[in-house]
Amino acid sequence: MIRFAQVAIVLGAMLGAAPALATPGSGFVPSPIVNGHFGQVDQKVDKVGSWDLVLRTKDDTDIGADRLTVQPQGYSGWHSHPAPVMVTVTQGTVEWFDAATCSPRTYTVGQSYIEPAGRAHNVRNPAAAGGQVADFIAVVIKPAGFVGPAFRLDQPVPASCQ
């Protein structure tokens, strides 16, 4: 009997210390558009006016684009990406929640933003039920082999956002 109680206490302590689970999305549908393989990338663009570009990868690289659809009151769930993601809203409104601040930034049709590499975030459509669906296009430069949703790294709800 004592052994059972000891095991129960240890299991309870382990479960209490378990990390928070990932947060699945709801009403959030990613649809891959294209994924291209470019091998190792080493591009330098000389200045065009005051603008220039240097893009260099040390290993095989893919560049992909996905269309993401978010139903009214839908959300992506907390996640991150191992490289920056460039986003442009094509329909409706999205709220982008950064784990560092837990406050949303709102983007509407035609507006763009970058999701920084490694930054936990959540995307939400604030439209009321029955309202407008939100769509956005996400473009990412990524290590070869990460296709579509595989590029998403699920994250728990940040403690500061609960």
Query: For the segment 15-34, what is each residue's pLDDT rounded down to a tens digit?
Result: 333 344 568 899 999 999 99
Give a yes or no: residue 61 inside a domain: yes
**The residue to which tokens 């994250």 are assigned:** 155
Give a yes or no: residue 41 inside a domain: yes
pLDDT over threshold 50, residue 10: no
Give a yes or no: residue 10 inside a domain: no
Query: With a threshold of 0.75, does the pTM exceed it?
Result: yes
**CATH number of the structural domain spanning residue 155:** 2.60.120.10
Closest C-alpha among 71, 79, 69, 99 to residue 151 = 79
Average pLDDT over residues 121-142: 96
Range(s) of the domain holding residue 66:
23-161
Count of domains forming the chain? 1
Give a yes or no: residue 7 inside a domain: no
Average pLDDT over residues 45-70: 93
pLDDT over threshold 50, residue 159: yes
Give a yes or no: residue 79 inside a domain: yes
d(CA 111, CA 102): 21
Give a yes or no: residue 145 inside a domain: yes
